[in-house]
Amino acid sequence: MTLKLMAWSDQFVTGLDTVDAQHRELVNLVNGAAPYLAQAGDAGMQAAGPLLKRLTDYAAIHFSYEEELMRAEQIAPAYLEQHQRSHAAFVDEVLLMQRQAQQDGQLSGNDLLRFLTSWLTFHILSEDKRMASQVRAIRAGQAPAQARIEADKGDGAPHAVYTSALIDLFTLLNERNRTLLQANQQVQQAQSELAAANLLLEARVQERTGELAAANASLQAERQALVDSMARLERTQGQLLQSEKMAAVGQLAAGVAHEINNPIGFISSNLNSLEKYLQQLFAVIQAYEQAGPAPNEAVQAARAQSDIEFLRQDIPELLRESSEGLARVKTIVSGLRDFSRADDGQWLEADLNHGLESALSMVWNEVKYKAEVVRDLGPLPQVPCIAAQLNQVFVNLLVNAAQAIDGKGIITLRSRAQGDEVWLEIADNGRGMSAEVQKRIFEPFYTTKAVGKGTGLGLSISWEIVSRHHGRIEVQSAPGAGSCFRITLPAKAHVDAAAT
């Protein structure tokens, strides 16, 4: 039996074309994954992970559209806030399930099905229909408050669809239980046959002992190969978890940068205006002192109490410090935006050795007093990339290498072509990093530098850029032994490059 969690019908139609199209996409998405989610064990778990990622992407697009629509139509604020809470609850639940799947693998496909059944029924058929009813009423000239009252009347359709979905689910589960019962009977029969075979095996144990001794040597070699494979799998899994983590942080960074950018603008404008106004006020005070007769005692006392000369010196200094602090905030916001957005640059073939040399020339004043630069650059093919982005990565790594050196040291640049990939290394013989620091260096805002010396965004932005190029960035380091960052990129155009 093929499980169909929701059958699209006229009951789902809200009358808002874009909303309905997005709803149909969600229903089709869940229906496509439902048969796999309902399976027990790893099968349901494997289907749940990709679906949760697609649900997160869907929510980012669909919820933003609905909320912008409600603001544009001036729907009652109380209802808009209620609808937003419902959206937030969905996102929180999906993110919680993602964490469960990533951390302990305890997420059940059936749990996800039950959650989606409730969501599809009560949110789409109840909340979104109420939203659509209000939108249509407001467009027809009705006041938002009255439109909400009319929409709150509702009907019982969600309950009927929810019950029907549960019946489909239980029918599938009952069929699977019958299959499981048959499998158990087969297992019992196999156990009986195994018991009889064990009697024969006991007679053959002595004969097989010699063969097993020879086989042990082969098994040891296979075991070592398995250990190596598991180590590679663990490294790959760690990279996948880091990719998902960075994607989520990228969404957060974009939101934070957007929210901070507006107040930065008017604060900067206000500081500039305030500086001009103060200059004008001090000019007026000076003109009064120079043009008029000697001020009376009250004016002299007020002037002495306010200490005009001190204010003339201190206020510009305070404004300068405020402007410097604001410029630092702008730098952080710019870094956040760079981290979270996809660049609009064109993909062209470029010489990465040349790009590395260009980056070195840009930061030469930072490097030349700290280190000797040793080049070990091999010939590289032209690599499809966004050269400006990779140059930014090179600049970040070169500056970090110079800052990691106390006194005078060596920075080594290497590059090679290897199969279908190319790699470049930037190594230093500086302070190095502990294993704990290496685990966190690609996290946004994490830095080992002193306060005010770094934003903690350089390596996280570099990681994101390399990921956009379908490559990887790796580090080898130890305290006192320096650090080596290797960037590995595909030598040929990736299938997603044109869409990036």
Q: Are residues 255 and 137 in the same domain?
A: no
Our CA dihedral for 435, 436, 442, 448, rounded to 10 degrees, sits at -110
Q: Are residues 34 and 178 in the same domain?
A: yes
Question: Do residues 370 and 452 touch, judged by C-beta distance below 8 A?
Answer: no
pLDDT higher for 237 or 143? 143
Question: Do residues 2 and 35 touch, judged by C-beta distance below 8 A?
Answer: yes
Q: What is the pLDDT of residue 160?
A: 42
Establish if 267 belongs to a structural domain.
Answer: yes
Question: Do residues 162 and 46 touch, judged by C-beta distance below 8 A?
Answer: no
Q: What is the pLDDT of residue 146?
A: 85
Run of H or E including 38: none
Helix ranges restricted to H, 416-495? 435-438, 458-468
Token couple for 201: 């095996």
| Non-local CB neighbours of 255 within 8 Å, separated by 6+ positions | none
Token couple for 39: 């399976």
**Dihedral pair phi/psi, residue 40, rounded to 5°:** -80, 160
Q: Which of 324, 340, 356 is the last residue before a domain boundary?
A: 340
Question: Do residues 433 and 441 touch, judged by C-beta distance below 8 A?
Answer: yes
Establish if 468 belongs to a structural domain.
Answer: yes
Token couple for 149: 């009252």
Q: Are residues 353 and 468 in the same domain?
A: yes
Mutual orientation of helices 42-72 and 157-291 as an angle, nearest 10°? 60
Q: Are residues 126 and 44 in the same domain?
A: yes
Here the CATH number for the domain that contains residue 373 is 3.30.565.10
Look up residue 12 and give its DSSP letter: G
Instruction: Round to whole Å and give the CA distance between 256 and 453.
Output: 21
Establish if 216 belongs to a structural domain.
Answer: no
Span 138-180, pLDDT tens digits? 888 888 888 888 777 655 445 445 444 544 544 454 455 446 5
Most confident range (mean pLDDT) of 61-65, 200-204, 241-245, 322-326 is 61-65
Our CA dihedral for 88, 90, 93, 99, rounded to 10 degrees, sits at -80
Question: Do residues 414 and 451 touch, judged by C-beta distance below 8 A?
Answer: no
Our CA dihedral for 20, 23, 27, 33, rounded to 10 degrees, sits at 140
Span 2-26, pLDDT tens digits? 555 667 777 778 888 898 888 888 8
Q: What is the pLDDT of residue 171?
A: 44
pLDDT band at 181 (very low <50, low <70, confident <90, very high): very low
Amino acid sitting at position 232: R
pLDDT at 105 over 50: yes
Most confident range (mean pLDDT) of 53-62, 97-106, 274-283, 376-385 is 376-385
Positive or negative, the CA dihedral 136, 141, 144, 149 is negative
Q: Which of 202, 237, 258 is the last residue before a domain boundary?
A: 202
pLDDT at 259 over 80: no
pLDDT band at 234 (very low <50, low <70, confident <90, very high): low
Token couple for 94: 């999906």
Nearest to 251 by CA among 339, 343, 329, 334: 339
Q: What is the pLDDT of residue 416?
A: 94
Establish if 220 belongs to a structural domain.
Answer: no
Q: What is the pLDDT of residue 95?
A: 80
pLDDT higher for 274 or 178? 274
SS3 259: helix
pLDDT at 435 over 60: yes
Percentage with pLDDT > 70 across the chain: 68
| Helix, strand, coil share of the chain (percent; to 5) | 70, 10, 20
pLDDT band at 114 (very low <50, low <70, confident <90, very high): confident
Contacts 24+ apart (CB under 8 A), 137-145: 138/73, 138/74, 138/75, 139/73, 144/73, 144/74, 144/75, 144/76, 145/76
Q: Are residues 414 and 366 in the same domain?
A: yes
Token couple for 195: 């018991």
Q: Are residues 260 and 296 in the same domain?
A: yes
Q: Are residues 61 and 162 in the same domain?
A: yes
Establish if 4 belongs to a structural domain.
Answer: no
User: In this structure, are strands 371-377 and 409-418 parallel, antiparallel, or unpaired?
Assistant: parallel
pLDDT band at 302 (very low <50, low <70, confident <90, very high): low
Instruction: Round to whole Å and give the CA distance between 239 and 233.
Output: 10
Nearest to 452 by CA among 329, 272, 338, 356: 329
Give the total residue count for the chain. Answer: 500
Q: Sort 394 into a burial class: Cβ within 10 Å, 0-12 / 13-18 / 19+.
A: buried
Establish if 59 belongs to a structural domain.
Answer: yes
Give the range of the structural domain holding residue 282, as residue numbers without chain letter. 250-340
- How many separate domains does the chain show? 3
Q: Which of 321, 340, 359 is the last residue before a domain boundary?
A: 340
Q: Are residues 323 and 369 in the same domain?
A: no
pLDDT higher for 456 or 199? 199
pLDDT at 254 over 70: no
Q: Are residues 128 and 161 in the same domain?
A: yes
Token couple for 50: 């990709």
Question: Do residues 152 and 145 touch, judged by C-beta distance below 8 A?
Answer: no
Establish if 224 belongs to a structural domain.
Answer: no
| Non-local CB neighbours of 173 within 8 Å, separated by 6+ positions | 38
pLDDT band at 296 (very low <50, low <70, confident <90, very high): low
Nearest to 60 by CA among 302, 322, 248: 248
Token couple for 282: 């001090």
Question: Do residues 19 and 132 touch, judged by C-beta distance below 8 A?
Answer: yes
Instruction: Round to whole Å and give the CA distance between 341 and 464.
Output: 10
Q: Are residues 14 and 123 in the same domain?
A: yes
Q: Could you tell me the pTM of the whole model?
A: 0.37
Question: Do residues 257 and 340 touch, judged by C-beta distance below 8 A?
Answer: yes
Q: What is the pLDDT of residue 298?
A: 64
Establish if 214 belongs to a structural domain.
Answer: no
Q: Are residues 89 and 42 in the same domain?
A: yes
Q: Are residues 358 and 492 in the same domain?
A: yes
pLDDT at 371 over 50: yes
Here the CATH number for the domain that contains residue 47 is 1.20.120.50
